[in-house]
Structure 1
């Protein structure tokens, strides 16, 4: 995020909290830099699961990204964002018959098939629609060489077809007259920060694709390398050397095109593309002391940004935070922090009645007072899309996009009536008390 603290504080005072803020200028610069350095045979697809806001998806489409979706809802969002069907890839282990029918009828670029059962369902959907459907097989490799923090392959997983079961899969594929085989996908994990491990995983995937093409006498049109590019959330983590990744990826792409003319390589990314351009902002309602421990209670928490609240995380450590004072200029707060003055150990919690609603646990922060603001950077990915927004009926936060000196509301604040969305008030007479 390139916005200065003074710009952020001015923006905060102009909009009701809680909200997510995305720096569109920083996002465009970051993604454009990656796209400009890719080999022509490599296509970058944005994973909507990281941030499903239609404006963010449309912005990435305008830069040249394809879309990777994992549900009918994300397919709808991608189409509304302006993606052409052929630029959309459908992934995920639990696709329903209805979703497969819709994907087949829409004519999307590729469906990554994750089991023999799903392959047969897709064949029925294609036959019913009277079309030939482009599909690839997602493979769960025998070995994990990714070094991923969150592993999605190389062991017993619901994702993909085990490498040892490929004979069964391709035997079933030969019976499918409406499937146009594209190639393979391997996605072994996410939040990877070591370039050499990512490169090793990519090289292994390309090698396996070549072997599959030869063994089963199939042309390989696409090789989906996955992604999993990580960002550092904690002090002990080092940023991913993306220059090294892209340099070796381009070398691998050139070699792959020589061996398999016309082949397209695909990389997928959500977190790495959008995380660093976002910040979650919440307001301090009041502070209190309980049994000697200081607390700051805010108007937003786990229901909006579950990742920051330790839920589902292996590392039980605080995300970085910024304190924006409502009582003095931000530079005064920064100066005091640098000088080690006016600090306290404080736990920052949200408004939910659960001990899990903890955004920051016992951290040394500048002195926090009522009406100050807490900002959590790197919140552009897996914020709202990953959080239990309906829990306890608090309204959903707004989403703001800052670009070109303007601030756009790309999601309105929710309201209390949202708690009854899609519900029906019915009390059967047989159950009513007399």
Structure 2
């Protein structure tokens, strides 16, 4: 009997179950590891479900702000109770249309990646009779950490190259409708160990201070990114950062001594650390077959349900592992989904319960981040999985993303299956 068998019987499969108590615990752990007074942005790309985002906003001074990169994520943030002025709008390809919508709805802080980007934000802000704050995203020429997903130190669509920023400053200062308000650096994702993460943050702080002084660049807000680790589709726990606070405070005191009084404000951002461990994907076995001596377990959740960003070149390939009973018999096999493609693969030759048969349930842990909205959701026209949220073991809401074809452009809708706190 799996942990969520009753929910699967009630709602069907495939089914995502999110534990809001786990979300609150992750938020508490991360704020505790960061310097006092630091701000924390939740990266909506990890999971834009409004109830998850709402749980992260709660907590008073230790509530998250929103990092968004589309008008769809802005809509989700507003639904979750975030104010538009709390949002940081990022992304290298902001269009005139989406800027009009974002600024018209009250967004005032943007991370910008080029002179054109700054000018475009300014032109739209001026058209609305307001001034927008621009953080300059910096692509550092070098880096500290050598592991994890690199986001800096190479040619990129993200950010101003640090070595040529001085050449761009005259144009940036002349841009109408904007105020240069600080910097945004995001050098890596999913750092493999605390020392690597700290080293990257220390390098980032030193670089920001040096650029600010050399270029006379105002530094009201400094967002130094994230990189906090959490497992993805496999058993395990979030990263632990016992030394992070002290080391960061030392670096900030050395390079930006006014930070304790808010000059500058220091911000971090996180997605998977905050919501990854809160999610479990429950899927039902459709068939078990042997092909030329190999065992295949076919389930009703495939890469259309848990795709590992498969629509984005599978930057985070699916390679799941299950939490198994300590003394239960196991047998290796390949876990696959129901789609008509050999690419619908969740785990190749992994340990699986030996007695699995059609109708049994399989639970994939740590699937709260990069799940539904990072998958090939519309591939083969299968319905989206249901998403159920729990607090203290009780159902808060149950909903499913629905797609509609229309002659007029419409965003995706979320159909509420069971009323609850969902706004």
* TM-score calculated relative to the size of structure 1: 0.85
Secondary structure of 2:384's aligned partner: coil
Question: What is the deviation of 1:19?
Answer: 1.1
Find 1:399's aligned residue among 362, 379, 387. Answer: 387
Question: What is the deviation of 1:153?
Answer: 1.2
Check whether the contact 1:144–1:155 (CA below 8 A) recurs between aligned residues.
no
Query: CA-to-partner distance for each residue in 1:57-112, whole Å, 9 max, x for gaps?
Result: 11111131001001111111111211122221011111111122233333425200
Quick one: distance in 2 between partners of 1:348 and 1:310? 20
Alignment pair present for 1:363 and 2:336: no
- Whose radius of gyration is greater, 1 or 2? 1
Alignment pair present for 1:57 and 2:53: yes
Distance change (3 Å), C-alpha of 1:245 and 1:385: farther
Check whether the contact 2:43–2:270 (CA below 8 A) recurs between aligned residues.
yes
Equivalent runs, 1:60-71 vs 2, <5 Å? 60-63=56-59, 64-71=63-70
* TM-score calculated relative to the size of structure 2: 0.87
Alignment pair present for 1:346 and 2:333: yes
Find 2:30's aligned residue among 14, 27, 34. Answer: 34
Equivalent runs, 1:4-403 vs 2, <5 Å? 7-63=3-59, 64-233=63-232, 240-255=239-254, 258-259=257-258, 262-307=263-308, 312=313, 318-322=319-323, 334=325, 336-337=327-328, 341=329, 343-367=330-354, 368-403=356-391
Distance change (3 Å), C-alpha of 1:265 and 1:317: same
Secondary structure of 1:274's aligned partner: helix
Question: What is the deviation of 1:236?
Answer: 12
Check whether the contact 1:308–1:319 (CA below 8 A) recurs between aligned residues.
no
**Greater CA drift, 164-173 or 352-361:** 164-173
**Relative to total residues, which structure has the larger helix share, 1 or 2?**
1
Q: Give 5+ residue unaligned stretches, structure 1.
A: 324-333, 425-434
Check whether the contact 1:206–1:256 (CA below 8 A) recurs between aligned residues.
yes
Distance change (3 Å), C-alpha of 1:152 and 1:89: same
Find 1:422's aligned residue among 379, 396, 406. Answer: 406
Quick one: distance in 1 between partners of 2:210 and 2:401? 52
**Greater CA drift, 403-412 or 80-89:** 403-412
Which residue pairs with 2:418 in the alignment?
none
Check whether the contact 1:39–1:253 (CA below 8 A) recurs between aligned residues.
no
Check whether the contact 2:43–2:66 (CA below 8 A) recurs between aligned residues.
yes
Query: CA-to-partner distance for each residue in 1:241-299, whole Å, 9 max, x for gaps?
Result: 32222332343345555245521111000011110111111101121122222111111
Question: What is the deviation of 1:211?
Answer: 1.9
Question: What is the deviation of 1:148?
Answer: 4.3
Check whether the contact 1:308–1:359 (CA below 8 A) recurs between aligned residues.
no
Secondary structure of 2:282's aligned partner: strand
**Greater CA drift, 37-46 or 348-357:** 37-46
Distance change (3 Å), C-alpha of 1:311 and 1:255: same
**Greater CA drift, 190-199 or 380-389:** 190-199
Distance change (3 Å), C-alpha of 1:276 and 1:293: same
The CA RMSD over aligned residues, in Å, is 2.6
Query: CA-to-partner distance for each residue in 1:206-257, whole Å, 9 max, x for gaps?
Result: 2222222222223310111010212245989996332222332343345555
Question: What is the deviation of 1:357?
Answer: 0.4
Secondary structure of 2:242's aligned partner: helix
Check whether the contact 1:114–1:160 (CA below 8 A) recurs between aligned residues.
yes
Quick one: distance in 1 between partners of 2:122 and 2:163? 23
Q: How many pairs are equivalent? A: 402
Query: CA-to-partner distance for each residue in 1:138-162, whole Å, 9 max, x for gaps?
Result: 0110012233422221101111111
Check whether the contact 1:193–1:239 (CA below 8 A) recurs between aligned residues.
no
Check whether the contact 1:400–1:410 (CA below 8 A) recurs between aligned residues.
yes
Secondary structure of 2:257's aligned partner: helix
